[in-house]
């Protein structure tokens, strides 16, 4: 299969690199990474060790069988416009946050846009080098839920490459459940400058639980079957499993780069979600002060 990965940063390089063990993969990323991958391949380190030789470019190729979207959520709109000019029948988002698939679908008439969630951990170590910080799983399926021929075909491609995955018929609930975890963990850890494990006990745990409960309430308002108990249990499970991790939002704040607050807590913020509104307002205040929200 010809697979193009749009956004070869941490996650895109890892998943693209794993797929390159079996498929013709093209990584689309920034110049320094692209040049190094072209010159000496992509080195995967950590929980998976491999050196692979995908193609690498700074712009999309003319065609592919499958596109993975792994840009940050604030770049989804731009990615969607670029993908509209690429002849690719199936597009799978592995991003965090809500509405990425809807944004892609709005620009990609006649294509199949699949929803995905990913619990692999990835960190770009430098040009040509990515760390697998945790072997997780990709869940993928129809963005509206139910069966999908394109999802089955994509699942078989992941299977052949040895990428842990599940083809799921309940992607809307899974995307919302991942949102509950990210809403509970990311902003709280970024603002308090603590690793995920600091949310195991009060008062951090109370903030994380309250944010996740609001996500479950909002999900049910949109017809998604996500209970507050399930959302809270997911937060606790992820906090335990990733206790020493620094969340992606904390890493963004430490690096001084824009966060995904708009697609996570910001998506829930409102009068019925005061905890998410407060978390979103504080992170946006920091982004404004750093001049990160202008582009």
Ligand X SMILES: CC(C)(CO)C(=O)C(=O)O
Ligand Y SMILES: NC(=O)C1=CN([C@@H]2O[C@H](COP(=O)(O)OP(=O)(O)OC[C@H]3O[C@@H](n4cnc5c(N)ncnc54)[C@H](O)[C@@H]3O)[C@@H](O)[C@H]2O)C=CC1
Residues with catalytic roles: 178
- With 0-12 / 13-18 / 19 or more C-beta atoms within 10 angstroms meaning exposed / middle / buried, residue 32 is exposed
- With 0-12 / 13-18 / 19 or more C-beta atoms within 10 angstroms meaning exposed / middle / buried, residue 35 is middle
The reply on whether position 17 binds ligand Y by CB under 6 A is: no
Work out what residue 95 binds among ligand X, ligand Y, none; the CB cut-off runs from 5 to 8 Å by kind. Answer: ligand Y
CB closest to ligand Y, residue no: 9
- Residue (76 or 218) nearer to ligand Y, CB: 76
Closest approach of ligand Y to the CB of residue 26, in Å: 12
Are residues 200 and 158 in contact, defined by beta-carbon separation less than 8 angstroms? Answer: no
The reply on whether position 11 binds ligand Y by CB under 6 A is: yes
Q: Which segment (8-16, 147-155, 210-218, 234-242) binds ligand Y by CB under 6 A?
A: 8-16
Closest approach of ligand Y to the CB of residue 153, in Å: 22
Compute how many other C-beta atoms are within 10 angstroms of the C-beta atom of residue 84: 14
The reply on whether position 245 binds ligand Y by CB under 6 A is: no
Compute how many other C-beta atoms are within 10 angstroms of the C-beta atom of residue 110: 5
Closest approach of ligand X to the CB of residue 150, in Å: 25
Q: Which segment (121-129, 217-225, 228-236, 283-291) binds ligand Y by CB under 6 A?
A: 121-129
> Is the bond into 63 cis (omega within 30 degrees of 0)?
no
Q: Which segment (6-14, 107-115, 151-159, 238-246) binds ligand Y by CB under 6 A?
A: 6-14
Q: Which of 4, 27, 71, 280 binds ligand Y (CB under 6 A)?
A: 71
Task: Give residues in contact with ligand Y (CB under 6 A).
Answer: 7, 9-12, 28-30, 70-73, 75, 78, 94-96, 118, 121-122, 124, 248, 260
């Amino acid at each position: 299969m010809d697979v193009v990965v749009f956004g070869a940063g941490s996650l895109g390089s890892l998943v693209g690199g794993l797929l390159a063990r079996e498929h013709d993969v093209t990584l689309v990323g920034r110049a320094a990474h692209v040049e190094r991958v072209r010159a000496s391949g992509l080195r995967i380190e950590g929980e998976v060790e491999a050196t692979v030789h995908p193609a690498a470019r700074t712009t999309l190729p003319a065609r592919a069988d499958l596109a993975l979207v792994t840009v940050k959520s604030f770049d989804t709109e731009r990615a969607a416009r670029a993908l509209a000019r690429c002849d690719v029948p199936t597009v799978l988002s592995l991003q965090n946050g809500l509405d990425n698939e809807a944004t892609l679908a709005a620009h990609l008439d006649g294509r199949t846009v699949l929803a995905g969630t990913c619990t692999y951990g990835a960190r770009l170590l430098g040009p040509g080098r990515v760390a697998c910080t945790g072997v997780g799983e990709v869940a993928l399926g129809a963005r509206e839920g139910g069966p999908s021929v394109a999802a089955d075909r994509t699942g078989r491609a992941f299977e052949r490459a040895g990428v842990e995955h599940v083809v799921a018929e309940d992607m809307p609930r899974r995307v919302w459940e991942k949102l509950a975890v990210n809403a509970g963990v990311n902003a709280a850890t970024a603002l308090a400058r603590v690793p995920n494990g600091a949310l195991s006990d009060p008062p951090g745990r109370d903030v994380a639980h309250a944010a996740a409960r609001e996500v479950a309430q909002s999900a049910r308002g949109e017809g998604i079957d996500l209970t507050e108990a399930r959302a809270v249990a997911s937060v606790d499970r992820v906090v335990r499993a990733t206790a020493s991790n620094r969340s992606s939002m904390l890493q963004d704040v430490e690096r001084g780069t824009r966060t995904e607050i708009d697609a996570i807590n910001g998506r829930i913020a409102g009068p019925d979600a005061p905890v998410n509104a407060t978390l979103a307002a504080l992170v946006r205040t920091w982004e404004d002060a750093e001049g990160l929200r202008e582009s």
